[in-house]
A and B are shown apart, each in its own frame.
Chain A
Amino acid sequence: MSAGPYNYSYIFKYIIIGDMGVGKSCLLHQFTEKKFMADCPHTIGVEFGTRIIEVAGQKIKLQIWDTAGQERFRAVTRSYYRGAAGALLVYDITRRSTYNHLSSWLSDARNLTNPNTVIFLIGNKSDLEAQRDVTYEEAKQFADENELLFIEASAKTGDNVEDAFLETAKKIYQNIQDGSLDLNAAESGVQHKPLQPGRNQPQNQPNPTKEGCAC
Chain B
Amino acid sequence: MALYVYSKSRVDVCIPFAEKEEDCTVYVIKVTVGEVWWLVKQRYKNFDSLHQQLVLNHGLRKDLLPAKKILGNKDPEFIERRRSDLEIYLKKIVQFLEKALPLEVCSFFEFEEYEVYSLVRKMAAELYLNGETKILSGQTISMNPLQLHAVTQKIQLPRSPVEQLNREQDFAHVLDFLANIESLEIVGNRDFYRNSNLILNSLPYDLSAFKSLKHLCFNGANVSSLMCARSLRNNLETLSAHSCGLKTVIEVLVCDSVHKNLEVKIDSPYVWRELISLDLSENNLTEVSPAAVCLVPKLRRLWLNCNALETVANLSSLSALEALNLSNNRIRQVPNLHTKLGNVKSLFLAQNRLTSLDGLGKLYGLVTLDVRSNKIADLETIRPVAALPCLEELTLTGNPVTTVLDFRTKVLTMFGTRAGEINLDNEKAMQKELDTVAVLLALSNSAKKMVLK
Contact = CB atoms under 8 A, between A and B. Distances in A.
Contacts of A49: 179
Given A48-B175, A76-B157, A82-B164, A5 B135 contact: yes
B158 A48 contact: no
Interface stretch (B126-134, B309-317, B333-341, B427-435): B126-134
A53 interface: no
B155 A194 contact: no
B452 interface: no
B167 A48 contact: no
A91 B176 CA distance: 27
B209 interface: yes
Contacts of B175: 48
Give the contact-size bracket for chain B: 20 to 34
A44 B164 CA distance: 20
A144 B367 CA distance: 72
A188 B133 CA distance: 27
A198 B133 contact: yes
Interface size class of A (residues with CB under 8 A): 20 to 34
B172 A78 contact: no
B209 A196 contact: no
Given A194-B167, A196-B133, A214-B167, A76 B179 contact: no
Given A50-B176, A82-B164, A194-B167, A45 B132 contact: no
A78 B172 CA distance: 16
Instruction: Classify the interface of chain A: helix, strand, loop or mixed.
Output: loop
Given A44-B155, A78-B158, A13 B172 contact: yes
Interface in A14-56: 41, 44-46, 48-50
Given A48-B179, A197-B129, A214-B167, A6 B135 contact: yes
A191 interface: yes
A179 interface: no
Interface string B206-223: 000100000000000000
B243 interface: no
A63 B230 CA distance: 24
Question: By CB atoms of chain A within 10 A, which of B131, B167, B168, B230 has the most?
Answer: B167
Contacts of A1: 136
A186 B156 contact: no
Contact of A80 (B156, B159, B209): B159
A199 interface: yes
B165 interface: yes
A5 B180 contact: yes
A4 interface: yes
A186 B167 contact: yes
A75 interface: yes
B157 A83 contact: no
A76 B160 CA distance: 10
A78 B157 CA distance: 11
Contact of B129 (A80, A82, A196): A196
A107 interface: no
Given A6-B132, A6-B136, A199-B133, A48 B172 contact: yes
A49 B178 CA distance: 11
Contact of B130 (A65, A75, A196): A196
Given A6-B132, A82-B164, A215-B168, 7 more contacts: A48-B175, A50-B179, A63-B176, A79-B160, A186-B165, A196-B129, A199-B133
22 contacts: A1-B136, A4-B136, A5-B176, A5-B180, A6-B132, A44-B155, A44-B156, A48-B172, A48-B209, A63-B176, A65-B172, A73-B156, A75-B158, A76-B156, A76-B157, A80-B159, A82-B159, A186-B167, A194-B167, A196-B131, A197-B133, A199-B133
